[in-house]
Amino acid sequence: MNPVPDRTLYVVACGSPAARRVGRLVTFAQRRGWAVCVVVTPDGRKFVDVPGLAAQTGNPVRSDYKNPGDPDVLPPADAMIVAPATSNTINKWAAGITDTLALGLVVEAQGKGLPIVTLPFTNTALAGHPAFQESVVRLRGWGVRVLLGDEILPLQPPGIGEQIIDRIPWELTLDALDEQIEAATGQR
């Protein structure tokens, strides 16, 4: 029998073709000893295998705020990885907008000082907009580890995302999270 992990990672996935492969991130995180909960944006839900991820994690996949008075069905997060993160999510997050459960949890986690890593999955046109660039700078300035650049995953022109989803460096998000935790606590 495997021991129950004592730390919980929320994986927040956005509406992107890359979300189809988020189960890979879940597998890598579980191998590193994390209990994993998956939260998706409303558009992210269109791309993921909700029953498959629920079975893989043992937790429901959430995408909507709960009703007032309803109990929380997920354990509290110890850390978060937002991947794939769309330009929409990056911009709203940097502005503090919490109009989806995913954004509400990420903004709240940042306010609590939890370690957060994000891997944007966008294209050259969207990433070239000044608001996106400012949002990345703002999040990095607040201590969020933003994995963006040619050394991580080169940006592609619009319409190519589906062709590169198997090249997403999921494990780099966990490496970056380990580095954040180690820097903050002295332990992994």
**Cβ density class 5-33: b for 16+ within 10 Å, e for less:** eeebbbbbbbbbebbbbbbebbebbbebe
Q: Which residue has the higher pLDDT, 116 or 5?
A: 116
Q: How far is CA 68 from CA 42, 52, 82, 99, in A?
A: 19, 28, 26, 16
What percentage of residues in the chain have a pLDDT greater than 70?
A: 97
Report the C-alpha gap between 182 and 166 in whole angstroms: 29
Mean pLDDT in residue range 133-138: 98
Cα 112–118–119 angle (5° rounding)?
175
Residue 1 pLDDT class (50, 70, 90 cuts): very low
The rounded Cα 144 to chain-centroid distance in angstroms is 11
**Contact (CB, 8 A) for 11 and 53:** no
Task: Look at residue 157 in the predicted model and tell me its pLDDT.
Answer: 86
**Contact (CB, 8 A) for 94 and 26:** no
Report the C-alpha gap between 153 and 167 in whole angstroms: 8
> Closest by alpha carbon to 181, among 79, 86, 44, 105?
79
> Closest by alpha carbon to 135, among 188, 89, 78?
89
What is the average pLDDT value for the chain, to the nearest integer?
93
Domains of the chain, earliest start first: 8-65+75-183 (3.40.50.1950)
Q: What is the pLDDT of residues 56-108, one digit of tens each?
A: 999 999 999 999 999 999 999 999 999 999 999 999 999 999 999 999 999 99
What pTM value is reported for the model?
A: 0.94
